[in-house]
Amino acid sequence: MDELIAFLKRVYSEMIPINSVGPDNGGPGELEKALYLESLLRQLGFKSVKRYDSSDPRAKGGVRPNLVAKLFDDGRPVIWIVAHIDTVPPGDESLWHYKPFEVTFVDGRVYGRGAEDDGQGVALALCVAKALLDEEPKFDLGVAFVSDEETGSKHGAQHLLKLGVFNASDWVLIPDAGSADGSLVEVAEKSVLWFKVKVEGKQTHGSTPHKGVNANRKAMKLALLIDQFLHEKYKEEDALFEPPVSTFEPTKREPNVPNINTVPGVDQFYFDCRLLPRHAVDEVVLDVTRLLDEFSKKEGVRCTLEVVSREDTSKPTDPESPLVKRLTRALEKRGVKPRIGGIGGGTVAKYFRNLNIPCVVWMTCDDTAHAPDEYAKLDNVISDTRTLLELFRASD
Ligand SMILES: [Zn+2]
């Protein structure tokens, strides 16, 4: 295992300094990181290594690269490890104790932007490959290192799925979220809907409110109405998820007037909604639209709805599927009690699940993604490698 830790440290040392922030976030894109990983995959002995570029003139080289490789490529059934190679920007660098684009090893942790999200997924796939080369596993290891996960996956996982790179008979592991003890095996995700409501009344002086229509007051009333309606209508529970219900949270509020003695004529607020897979996003949008129409008529204001972002979820992966069974058995062997469940956020899993490809999101991590001082624990990567070796090896 010493050899594997040395390899892991080498991969991290070479990978972290390569900035692969996507162009939507002001970065150069993933080409340089992909070129590095492509040569590493070949060095390791992968029998087939292919690159699928998606054109994007904003990125370095004009492309968003995706690497697809198979370790043995001899017709064995394939378990894929899909990890993304783009990262988010460091954010406020004064909040970091370590340099985001220089690798730092302290107390068994590796620090740097992308150390966990999703460098840990990349590192895990490479460690599994290295270890599998000494064996005759039942499954082939497929590796897909994809671009553009942080900004919609159009140039990444979605591009590869459109090209038909994966088969419905394949299994897919996505080490891009997890829990600190490795117990969470994610098989489902909620749909995400973000919407904005604009309420237009009539601005006036603070001393003469009767001459205007206070958009702030109307907006507060309306926000509570929406809040109450959605919670009452969509109150079903699904024990797969934590929390087990759909959630509807009023979150951001746009500033209205800069001074205290003006009654605002416009007020804008946002909701973050996470829906259980059984509910359609469209139905919520229709409900809110209807509430807005009724409220506008009754209260003498103009209300408009804007869907800022939506991610319609897919059918969950069957908790009884052989992939989930195998992974839970491997975890039990490791002494971890598996918890099969769903999360409220969206990963690339939904694109695979939409095509009925069984897929789990899993790894052991402290959840430091996007934070300053992002890190991964080297021991977690090694333990996860051992768990996955079991998965590739195990006979039925
Ligand atoms: Zn990620």
Give distance in angstroms: CA of 348 to centre of ligand 1.
9
Give distance in angstroms: CA of 360 to centre of ligand 1.
14
Q: How many residues does the chain have?
A: 396
The CA distance from 360 to 353, in Å, is: 9
Give distance in angstroms: CA of 27 to centre of ligand 1.
16
CA distances from 369 to 84, 106, 156, 193, 350 (A): 13, 18, 19, 21, 20
The CA distance from 190 to 241, in Å, is: 9
Q: Give the model confidence (pLDDT) of 239-258 as tens digits.
A: 999 899 999 999 999 999 99
Global pTM value: 0.87
pLDDT tens for the 396 residues of the chain, in order? 789 999 999 999 999 999 999 999 999 999 999 999 999 999 999 999 999 999 999 999 999 999 999 999 999 999 999 999 999 999 999 999 999 999 999 999 999 999 999 999 999 999 999 999 989 999 999 999 999 999 889 999 999 999 999 998 999 999 999 999 999 999 999 999 999 999 999 999 999 999 999 999 999 999 999 999 999 999 999 999 989 999 999 999 999 999 999 999 999 999 999 999 999 999 999 999 999 999 999 999 999 999 999 988 888 999 999 999 999 999 999 999 999 999 887 789 999 998 999 999 999 999 999 999 999 999 999 999 999 999 999 666
pLDDT of residue 394: 67
Burial group, residue 203, by CB count within 10 angstroms (0-12, 13-18, 19+): middle
Q: Give the model confidence (pLDDT) of 204-235 as tens digits.
A: 999 999 999 999 999 999 999 999 999 999 99
Q: Distance of alpha carbon 117 from its chain centroid, rounded? A: 9
Candidates 30, 38, 56, 86; catalytic one: 86
Give distance in angstroms: CA of 255 to centre of ligand 1.
31
Give distance in angstroms: CA of 163 to centre of ligand 1.
22
Give distance in angstroms: CA of 150 to centre of ligand 1.
7
Domains by residue range for the chain, with CATH: 2-189+315-393 (3.40.630.10), 191-311 (3.30.70.360)
The CA distance from 316 to 115, in Å, is: 28
Q: DSSP string of 142-166?
A: EEEEES-TTTTSTTTHHHHHHTT-S
Is 136 among the residues known to form the active site?
Answer: no
Is 149 among the residues known to form the active site?
Answer: yes
Candidates 118, 149, 186, 384; catalytic one: 149
Dihedral-angle region of residue 280 (phi above 0 means left; psi in -120 to 50 means alpha; beta otherwise) = beta
